[in-house]
Structure 1
Amino acid sequence: MDTIPVTVLGPSGSGKTLYLASLFRRLAIQRPDTGFFVNVPGADKIRLNNIFRDVAAGAPDVWPDPSLQAETTEWTFTCSLRTEDDAVFSPFALSYLDYSGAFLQIADAWETEEGQAVWDRVRASRFLLLLLDGEKVLRQLDGEPGLTDELIAILNEIQQTDAAVHVVVTKWDLLQAAGHTLRSVLDGLLEHPDFEAFYLDRLNRKSVGTFRFIPVSALGQGYAALDPASRTMVKQVKPGTYPRPYNVEIPFMAVLVDLVRDELRASARRAETAGPLLEQHRQRLERMDGWDGKLSLLRSVLGARPARSPLLRAVQQDVLGAAESYGKSRIAERRQQVEQEIAQVRGQMLQARSADEALTRMAEVFDAVLAEFEAVHPGSLVLKEAS
């Protein structure tokens, strides 16, 4: 199973940890509209669930504390689904690096060993999630350009990579309540010349990964609102209501859909070599059958010219018999080995076929979900990765 590094980028307050906790809650149980489930190591299940539970059920001012500068956490999400024969198939694991957003705004942190490790990870990642705090997005749309100012260092690093970039707008329920669509949010962000330059740079580059804008809400509609006086989020939980995370699985699926297509292409290439390999093994078995008969014929030919004395004739028959027996036993051993190799190749082909069917089914679900998402949020897919 491949583990794919995904780096979650975003300044302090953008909701990185709560997003990952919400992602776990949304995908921990397989649902008809997702078709797969995720697993995380035992202790991390408790940590992520506690983060989500505390925010969902806590007091109005209870939100995840911003990570300390020294804190960096890696969360591994294993993607699993059931094959037609009811076996659990786990083709990929996504390793999310979640670090303190505050350190991006502290110059000294860039010189630390941990700071350098984060940026090394950014440059090595095939997939980057850039989280934009929905509260700050709303303020920028109202004329306060502080969000883009915070993002300059991150955007500068991203432009040095060819990674797929999924820009995730968090706290979407706030923007939706204010009457915004994804198109109006994107148009508003593009009014800032620095963000526009970043956007156009991705579009004009060759050989870069997918570029998407994805609105998400970790708790769902109606769980929080913007307090007019303080202009900060406050929870407004009604008794008997449950959080319904919105779109949190879309960035996860957007990563997996590229991986699934890559794996299916690689599997097709492996299948092309499996057929000729089986034919080679079959020809080897035919040659062994031929040698088996030739040993008996060789003994008959050699035995047709008997030795002159009875003693030598007896020795001759013993030697020929031993030689034939040894030769046949060696052929039988080799035949058994080749038959085992054939069984192994066939087993791998059957397993690969089952895995391919599961992956194909997964890709079909993802394509349907993403197509529906893109229909609801036109313009979300800015740039598609080349096949």
Structure 2
Amino acid sequence: MEEPAAYTVVTLGPSGAGKTVYLAALWQTLKVHHPGLLCHLSLDDVRKENRLEEVFRQVADPGPDWPPSTLPGDIPEWVFSCKVISPHGQFTAMKVRYIDYAGESLTGVRDGGASQEFVDTLREADALLGLLDGRRILEMMRGESDFLDQMSRTFLLMQNSTGPIHFVITKWDLLAGHYTLEQIRERLMRHPHFSSLVASRRTWKTRRMAVPPGRIRLLPVSSVGLEFAFLDSTGEMRKRANRRPEPYNVDLAFGAVLPDLLARAYEVAAEERRRTGAGATAGSRGAIRRTFTAGVATPLSALLSSRGIQVPVHMLAGFLTATSSLAGRALDVPPSELRKARRLQRSFRRRSVNAVRDDMSAAHFVLHRTVRLLNDVEQRPENRGTRLT
């Protein structure tokens, strides 16, 4: 079976925000079986795996040094495969390609020197991961920094992307106990460019979908945990003695990507079907879903690709087929495809990894687990403010 294509997520943040450390913490958290998502990550490139291991080793080392920032001009790419193990074998649910831009790219943006390559990459990305330096956020909350003004041009550039945008507040350990996520959200929303970016997505309405397309989220994350580091009297980040880093919420930002991207892909495709009227009455979502189950996943994937949205065919087919309870009833579906659709539906309802038999059902299984994780997180009082749109 053909390997799933990779979603592209561009990570953005000023120098020192902790982008590479975040990816290293993500790797440490998900390289082994995750008890909530019931999956794990792998890296095909052993050299990059060793690089992330080295970064996290430097973080955990009791010495005073921290890993160096990404060098100017260096744009590392990390392709993670999300794997699910079931009684029937190991399957690849999805791949996520992270592009880690150096903080100097944003400095160039502020100085009016953003390269065309940088702008094009933002526009073509499937999703953006904006890292907001928790230390700078702390200064902002205390009235000691114009951090948001420095990020203003970046917020404007983000408007060119129609995919999900997830803002990650790094170094949450510096903020926890002093400010709530809701307080920080309110402060961010007072900045005209940040609030305009959020408002531009609020007009995107989606009925009957758990996650609207192009969603913007605000996620509190600490790559080292809540008790590992502190700011000393000179303003330097120090490591506490006899403590181990215990990453906090790094899996959340990864898990949020999948349902947001699939929901966006569904809405764009549905709108295209309504516009052309092909195979369904315009505006009839039920008819649109039934048309999807007739085996149009491959041309639909090509259509989405032409509009800048990369969705693996197997994942799109599994998601769209399983969302229709009418599969096989109103359409002349081959028996083998009907059995596959019913298996996917049973897998979704039972939430059982035992039903994962191929990459397609693995993708659908992980989709369900990530939606469940997001719902659980958003219902906690301390996470009020996570969802911006």
**TM-score normalized by the length of structure 1:** 0.72
CA contact (8 A) 2:224 2:248 kept: yes
Alpha-carbon offset, residue 35 of structure 1: 0.8
1:247-276 CA distances to partner (integer Å, 9 max, x unpaired)? 001111001223566633334499659983
Q: Which residue does the alignment assign to 2:180?
A: 181
CA contact (8 A) 1:141 1:189 kept: no
Alpha-carbon offset, residue 107 of structure 1: 6.2
Alpha-carbon separation, structure 1, partners of 2:258 and 2:187: 29
Match of 1:266 among 320, 330, 347: 320
1:278 equivalent in alignment to 2:350? no
Alpha-carbon separation, structure 2, partners of 1:21 and 1:257: 23
Q: Which amino acid aligns with 1:258?
A: D
Moved more, 132-141 or 152-161: 152-161
1:116-172 CA distances to partner (integer Å, 9 max, x unpaired)? 222211101121111100000000001134211221121111112212111100000
SS in 2 for 1:106: helix
Q: Which residue does the alignment assign to 2:120?
A: 120
Q: Which residue does the alignment assign to 1:250?
A: 252
CA contact (8 A) 1:28 1:39 kept: yes
Match of 1:45 among 33, 49, 65: 49
Alpha-carbon offset, residue 224 of structure 1: 0.7
Q: Which residue does the alignment assign to 2:195?
A: 196
Seq. identity, %: 30
Alpha-carbon offset, residue 44 of structure 1: 1.0
Q: Which residue does the alignment assign to 1:82?
A: 85
1:141 equivalent in alignment to 2:141? yes
1:220 equivalent in alignment to 2:225? yes
Q: 1:364 to 1:144 in 2, by over 3 A?
A: same
Q: Which residue does the alignment assign to 2:5?
A: 2
SS in 1 for 2:176: helix
CA contact (8 A) 1:39 1:79 kept: yes
**TM-score normalized by the length of structure 2:** 0.72
Question: What's the RMSD between the two structures over aligned residues?
Answer: 3.0
Q: Which residue does the alignment assign to 2:27?
A: 24
Alpha-carbon offset, residue 185 of structure 1: 1.1
Q: Which amino acid aligns with 2:320?
A: A
Alpha-carbon offset, residue 349 of structure 1: 6.9
1:356-382 CA distances to partner (integer Å, 9 max, x unpaired)? 554444233223321221122012112
Number of residue pairs matched?
311
Q: 1:111 to 1:274 in 2, by over 3 A?
A: farther
Q: 1:72 to 1:351 in 2, by over 3 A?
A: farther
Q: Which amino acid aligns with 1:212?
A: R
CA contact (8 A) 1:128 1:165 kept: yes
Q: Which residue does the alignment assign to 1:91?
A: 93
Q: Which amino acid aligns with 1:256?
A: L
Alpha-carbon offset, residue 351 of structure 1: 8.8
Alpha-carbon separation, structure 2, partners of 1:170 and 1:93: 24
Q: Which amino acid aligns with 1:19?
A: Y
Matches within 5 A, 1:341-356: 354-355=357-358
Alpha-carbon separation, structure 2, partners of 1:367 and 1:277: 29
1:272-317 CA distances to partner (integer Å, 9 max, x unpaired)? 59983637xxxxxxxxxxxxxxxxxxxxxxxxxxxxxxxxxxxxxx
Q: Which residue does the alignment assign to 2:283?
A: none
CA contact (8 A) 1:215 1:247 kept: yes
Q: Which residue does the alignment assign to 1:379?
A: 385
Q: Greater helix share, 1 or 2?
A: 1
Alpha-carbon separation, structure 1, partners of 2:365 and 2:340: 19
SS in 1 for 2:377: helix
Alpha-carbon separation, structure 2, partners of 1:246 and 1:259: 23
CA contact (8 A) 2:201 2:214 kept: no
1:234 equivalent in alignment to 2:238? yes
Q: Which residue does the alignment assign to 2:348?
A: none
Query: 5+ residue gaps in structure 2?
Result: 207-212, 267-314, 345-354
Query: 5+ residue gaps in structure 1?
Result: 280-341
